[in-house]
Amino acid sequence: MIKNYRKTKILATIGPSSEKITKIEKLILSGVDAFRINCSHTNELQLKKYIYNIRKVEKKLNQPIGILIDLQGPKLRIGEIASNKINLKKNQIILLVNKKKSSKIDEIPLPEQKIFKNIKVNHPIFIDDGKIKLKVLSVSKTTIKTKVILGGALKSKKGLNLPNTILKNSALTSLDKKNVRDGIKLGIDWIALSFIQSPDDIKDLRKICVKNTPIIAKIEKPSALNFIKDITKLADGLMIARGDLGVELPIQDVPGWQKRIIREARIQGKPVIVSTQMLESMTYSPTPTRAEVSDVATAVFEGADAVMLSGESAVGVNPELAVKMMKNIALSAERNPNYNSILSAQLEETPDSTPDAIATAASTLATELNSPMIICYTQSGSTGIKVSRVRPQQLILTVTPIIKTARKLSLVWGAKCLVQKDASDLEEMIKITNVYSKKEKLTSVGDKIVITAGLPLKKPGTTNLLRVVKVS
């Protein structure tokens, strides 16, 4: 096994604490594989700056770095309340009114007409990440009468969640569409779609992804859980956004759903990211809590492709330290004697296709031959993703002539990417990777290497070849 090679990827959110070129370089050297840009806190100029700085470091280090933009989505918010603050008491009757401002202490302005059309009696309403909970008593065209279930201080412009209410609108806002267009123009590698409710939301985004940029479906609404198989099928990857999911879903149900979503993603061979509050205390502290360490390790043991840092890297006191901690937790979990057997036991189903059969066979063969690595020649990245799905014990070296493919694979479990000019034939490819693997001390003379590829060469999505080569 290659020493100190980490298979679980780290996705770090870029922000004021990490936006400088020197910081980005330190984060990559510390273990970051890809960067997330949170469009909720990023304007057009910042988006350009972030991408420019990441690409500059990428070029310097000669290492493909993925960039994911995380769309804001249709975030619901209340309007401006009386004196900017009201105190709600349990069992109090409070009215939600369809206007932007209110001066009454028993009213909450709600400038969202679609809510009044779709919400029903007995539906819950959560405000400010669930700190305030209301129950709907009656609904009219302009007024929602509610009873306070959980009270407290409430300020203007707080976010609002509707766990049981399906709003008949797209997950894509006009701002999201602009961010998508800008992001694609600037060369981003992944798009994360927020607050999706059904597979139709992914279809809507596909229409404007002119360069077929891969889509990450963020699972954060209970309604999306009803369509998890179909959403996984249509998306290119998933993100378990436990923050909003834990607001709208009973919080005790989130860990179970995390396991189910990871399992579904693996069955269908789609990368899956676990996000939100993974090392939250390191936003302000140099060390995480023991519970946070366990949380990250659990995601690794479950077979997540990537774990994500949010505020820890965007606004934290020491983003580099947070990255190193996440890397060390992942490495420790992966070195556990039970790690590989746990991952193998989790994969219960295999898609009925030649590429998936080849990928499974490559993993089995590599283990039987005690091979240090599996080499995947790929144009689109699909060969590397299919081999990754099996979670082999060996290093997965993906070789591609396309830098965008390498960046895409930065979020795929176990994939180490080599950008290499197109070879004329398979023998030339073998020679190139033979030289590279020995140079990087990934292999030794006499090692047997398992190779997968698609013939004819340069044709995406044709994984149909399996070959064993002895390092000379």
**Interhelix angle 339-346/290-301, nearest 10 degrees:** 50
Cis check for the bond before 456: say yes or no (omega within 30 of 0). Answer: yes
Query: What is the pLDDT, as a whole number, of residue 460?
Result: 67
User: Within 10 Å of residue 106's Cβ, how many Cβ atoms?
Assistant: 12
Of 72-76, 343-347, 377-381, 401-405, the range with the lowest mean pLDDT is: 343-347
Model pTM above 0.85 = yes
pLDDT higher than threshold 70 for residue 126: yes
Q: Determine the Cα–Cα distance for residues 396 and 6; give it in Å rounded to an integer.
A: 11
Query: Kind of pairing, strands 306-309 and 373-377?
Result: unpaired
Delimit the domains of the chain by residue range: 9-74+171-344, 76-161, 350-470
Mean per-residue pLDDT, 114-132: 92
* CATH superfamily label, 350-470: Pyruvate kinase, C-terminal domain (3.40.1380.20)
What pLDDT, in 10s, does the model give residues 182-233?
999 999 999 999 999 899 999 999 998 877 899 999 999 888 999 999 999 9
Q: Determine the Cα–Cα distance for residues 181 and 160; give it in Å rounded to an integer.
A: 27
CB 383 within 8 A of CB 452: yes
The burial class, CB within 10 Å (0-12 / 13-18 / 19+), for 125 is buried
Share of the chain above pLDDT 90, in %: 66
Q: CA nearest 183: which of 161, 210, 146?
A: 210
- Give the distance, in angstroms, between the CA of residue 229 and the centroid of all CA atoms in the same chain: 17
Encoded tokens for 149: 């279930």
Amino acid identity, position 449: I
Instruction: Indicate the average pLDDT of the chain.
Output: 91
Query: What is the pLDDT, as a whole number, of residue 1?
Result: 47
Given CATH 3.30.830.10, say whether it is the number of domain 76-161: no
**Is residue 369 very low, low, confident or very high in pLDDT (cuts 50, 70, 90)?**
very high
Query: What is the pLDDT, as a whole number, of residue 194?
Result: 93
How many Å from the N-terminal Cα to the C-terminal Cα in the chain? 19
Share of the chain above pLDDT 70, in %: 97
Q: In sequence order, what are the beta bridge partners of 9?
A: 306
pLDDT higher than threshold 60 for residue 2: no
3 state SS for 256-321: HHHHHHHHHHHHHCCCEEEECCCCHHHHCCCCCCHHHHHHHHHHHHCCCCEEEECHHHHCCCCHHH
What pLDDT, in 10s, does the model give residues 144-190?
999 999 999 998 888 898 888 888 777 798 999 999 999 999 999 99
What pLDDT, in 10s, does the model give residues 30-50?
999 999 999 988 999 999 999
The larger pLDDT score, comparing residue 84 to residue 88, is at 88
* CATH superfamily label, 9-74+171-344: Phosphoenolpyruvate-binding domains (3.20.20.60)
Encoded tokens for 342: 């746990």
Amino acid identity, position 98: N
Amino acid identity, position 459: K
Q: Determine the Cα–Cα distance for residues 246 and 157; give it in Å rounded to an integer.
A: 20
pLDDT higher than threshold 50 for residue 472: yes
Of 66-70, 301-305, 405-409, 448-452, the range with the lowest mean pLDDT is: 448-452
Amino acid identity, position 321: L
Q: What is the CA radius of gyration of the chain?
A: 24
- Give the distance, in angstroms, between the CA of residue 201 and the centroid of all CA atoms in the same chain: 17
Residue 93: C-alpha distances to residues 164, 180, 261, 447 (Å): 20, 42, 38, 74
**Which residue has 């009757």 as its token pair?**
93
What pLDDT, in 10s, does the model give residues 226-285?
999 999 999 999 999 998 898 888 899 999 999 999 999 999 999 999 999 999 999 999
CB 300 within 8 A of CB 267: no
Q: Which of 81-95, 309-323, 379-393 has the highest mean pLDDT?
A: 309-323
**Interhelix angle 319-334/290-301, nearest 10 degrees:** 50
Q: In sequence order, what are the beta bridge partners of 219?
A: 240
Q: Determine the Cα–Cα distance for residues 398 and 214; give it in Å rounded to an integer.
A: 18
